[in-house]
Amino acid sequence: MSDPLDLPVAEQAARVRDAADPLTARALVDASLARIAAHNEALNAFLHVAPERARAAADRVDADVAAGRDPGPLAGVPLAVKDNLEVEGLPLTCGSRILGTWKPLRTATSVARAEAAGAVVVGKTNLDEFAMGSSTENSAFGPSRNPYDVERVPGGSSGGSAAAVAAGLVPLALGSDTGGSIRQPAAFCGIVGFKPTYGRVSRSGLVAFASSLDQVGPFARSVADARRLQAVLEGPDPLDATSRAFVTPGSAATPVPRGLEGLRIGRVAEMTTERRVVGTEGVDRVEGLRAQLDAAGATAVDVALPAIAEAIAIYYVIAPAEASSNLARFDGVRYGHRAEADSLERLYAKTRAEGFGAEVKRRILLGTFALSAGYADAFYKRARGAQVALGQAFAEAFERCDVLVSATTPTAAFRLGEKTGDPLAMYRSDVLTVAANLAGLPAVSIPAGFNEQGLPLGLQVQGPVGADALVFDVAEALERQLATCRYVAPEEAA
């Protein structure tokens, strides 16, 4: 590990903050920009790189250190930002043509907080258009590619952020997770991705997809790095009425030193192959690791969560319903692209027909239908009822166990083009992640080794609402444990 960019984030920041250490923020940022220049063409992880803005920010961090001011816990650490988060002065595309060359006038609260802690934004990363997708293939600017195999997807929708971290272009990135868009790409790219409890991180400046489900969160190479970024993001924000302070200790709190000893780890039958809800390699891998969790002192608890089988159906009513309403603002008058037309009505219609891609149109149609008079009771209201029941089922499960451990995704990264012709197959790749959003739970994906083709697989830890610190603690303990343990295939264990 000769390159400082590969050090743990805490060490990078500590060295930058130490005036006696020759490592500067400028050197870290230049190293990151050089790697982006060398590898972005192959990965298409960044839609926009901002060298001037980044170098100026790095120089401010170094000037602070020289003047004896503390630039903060992320001093000089390069950060990639998903391109559905506003950064003043940089273009914002949301992976769509409809925003044209529009530039936001302010910076998202989450990004501003990371910058206030010393992190340096180096660029904006690729995503499925308006974060709708699981592969980044819905980006209007071409798909990102998985650093482990460039013929495969990095996952989505935050695929650019995940690919950038996995390839070492940046140590940290921000994503958004509405149904799995941080955890699924983290799993596909062999890194850590955390979705906070709903409300823990401000959504101000995040372009809304499904406002009641969207959360901003970190990508990193280790749980400790992810936690360090998360710690500076969270806290109530007057610009987001759903953001709040939590009574339970935040993820910013000093980690409780805790191993797996005595921890009650829930195993949801509906998230394994048992009930035939999901299947294959991702699930088998995590099942193959369970014995070792028990051996480390954890107590296995079987919990039934039949409601989880409906999570995809609930999600694909509620998320499109909210999206159809949120996306009404892209009308050709307020932002970016504007079609030529002879009436206002035609201008709206033509702008949206030209500006939005196929998946976004599908979601708008689905959502508008689900909310329309005569159908809202049968679809939207019914889905909301089922969502409440799912939340209650989780709350009951968490009376019997501390956390739930499952696979993050049924399979490892799929090939580019493999699912683009079958929207339902694409939707089903979120089968293990959407429930956490519907219930507002904190959830993290950590690396769980590789399949036979050398592709990464992820393990997901979900905790009760507000228990973000516990989820991080458990993820850190599992990360340590998994580094030493041997995977035993379920058939071998039986």
Residues marked as catalytic: 82, 157, 181
Is residue 381 classed as helix, strand or coil in its secondary structure?
Answer: helix
Tokens of 192: 């850590």
Residue pair 441/447 in contact by the 8 Å Cβ criterion: no
24 conformational bin, left if phi > 0, alpha if psi -120 to 50, beta if neither? beta
Binding of ligand GLN by 131 (CB under 6 A): yes
Binding of ligand GLN by 173 (CB under 6 A): no
Given the complex with ligand GLN, which of 180 and 367 has the nearer CB atom?
A: 180
- Which residue among 62, 83, 86, 430 contacts ligand GLN (CB under 6 A)? 430
Rounded Cα distance between 268 and 372, Å, is: 35
Q: Which stretch binds ligand GLN (CB under 6 A): 22-30, 177-185, 229-237, 247-255?
A: 177-185
- Which residue among 32, 157, 406, 460 contacts ligand GLN (CB under 6 A)? 157
Q: Which stretch binds ligand GLN (CB under 6 A): 32-40, 171-179, 277-285, 340-348?
A: 171-179
Tokens of 354: 């030209």
Q: Compute the least distance from the CB of residue 191 to ligand GLN, in Å.
A: 16
- Which residue among 136, 178, 351, 481 contacts ligand GLN (CB under 6 A)? 178
Q: Compute the least distance from the CB of residue 103 to ligand GLN, in Å.
A: 23
C-alpha dihedral over 110, 115, 119, 124, to 10 degrees?
60
Q: Compute the least distance from the CB of residue 155 to ligand GLN, in Å.
A: 9
Residue pair 427/316 in contact by the 8 Å Cβ criterion: yes
Give which of 206, 28, 227 is closest to 122, Cα–Cα: 28
Given the complex with ligand GLN, which of 118 and 179 has the nearer CB atom?
A: 179
C-alpha dihedral over 474, 476, 479, 484, to 10 degrees?
-100
Single-letter amino acid code for the residue at 413: A
Binding of ligand GLN by 185 (CB under 6 A): no
Is residue 98 classed as helix, strand or coil in its secondary structure?
Answer: coil
Q: Compute the least distance from the CB of residue 177 to ligand GLN, in Å.
A: 5
- Which residue among 209, 356, 394, 398 contacts ligand GLN (CB under 6 A)? 209
Given the complex with ligand GLN, which of 209 and 246 has the nearer CB atom?
A: 209
Given the complex with ligand GLN, which of 351 and 429 has the nearer CB atom?
A: 429
Given the complex with ligand GLN, which of 163 and 289 has the nearer CB atom?
A: 163
Residues 6 or more apart in contact with residue 332 via CB below 8 angstroms: 338, 339, 347, 348, 350, 351, 352, 355
- Which residue among 133, 154, 190, 199 contacts ligand GLN (CB under 6 A)? 133
Q: Which stretch binds ligand GLN (CB under 6 A): 24-32, 129-137, 403-411, 417-425?
A: 129-137
Rounded Cα distance between 239 and 15, Å, is: 34
Binding of ligand GLN by 144 (CB under 6 A): no
Q: Which stretch binds ligand GLN (CB under 6 A): 104-112, 141-149, 173-181, 373-381?
A: 173-181
Is residue 417 classed as helix, strand or coil in its secondary structure?
Answer: coil
CA separation, residue 449 to residues 130, 358, 487 (Å): 31, 35, 8
Q: Which stretch binds ligand GLN (CB under 6 A): 132-140, 166-174, 243-251, 469-477?
A: 132-140
Binding of ligand GLN by 96 (CB under 6 A): no
Given the complex with ligand GLN, which of 298 and 311 has the nearer CB atom?
A: 311
Residue pair 460/203 in contact by the 8 Å Cβ criterion: no
Is residue 193 classed as helix, strand or coil in its secondary structure?
Answer: strand
Binding of ligand GLN by 179 (CB under 6 A): yes
Single-letter amino acid code for the residue at 23: L
Binding of ligand GLN by 180 (CB under 6 A): yes
Q: Compute the least distance from the CB of residue 132 to ligand GLN, in Å.
A: 5
Q: Which residues pair with 299 in a beta bridge?
A: 264
E strand intervals along 282-358: 299-303
Give which of 469, 473, 458, 472 is closest to 189, Cα–Cα: 458
Q: Compute the least distance from the CB of residue 473 to ligand GLN, in Å.
A: 25
- Which residue among 12, 32, 109, 134 contacts ligand GLN (CB under 6 A)? 134
144 conformational bin, left if phi > 0, alpha if psi -120 to 50, beta if neither? beta
Rounded Cα distance between 364 and 353, Å, is: 12
Residues 6 or more apart in contact with residue 222 via CB below 8 angstroms: 8, 192, 479
Rounded Cα distance between 159 and 144, Å, is: 6
Q: Compute the least distance from the CB of residue 135 to ligand GLN, in Å.
A: 8
Is residue 268 classed as helix, strand or coil in its secondary structure?
Answer: strand
Residues 301-360 close enough to bind ligand GLN by CB under 6 A: 319
Given the complex with ligand GLN, which of 72 and 205 has the nearer CB atom?
A: 205
Q: Which stretch binds ligand GLN (CB under 6 A): 67-75, 130-138, 196-204, 326-334?
A: 130-138
Q: Compute the least distance from the CB of residue 405 to ligand GLN, in Å.
A: 21
The residue whose Cβ lies closest to ligand GLN is 181
Given the complex with ligand GLN, which of 47 and 75 has the nearer CB atom?
A: 47
C-alpha dihedral over 359, 179, 392, 318, to 10 degrees?
-20
Q: Which stretch binds ligand GLN (CB under 6 A): 36-44, 101-109, 125-133, 266-274?
A: 125-133
Q: Which residues bind ligand GLN (CB under 6 A)?
A: 131-134, 157, 177-181, 209, 319, 430
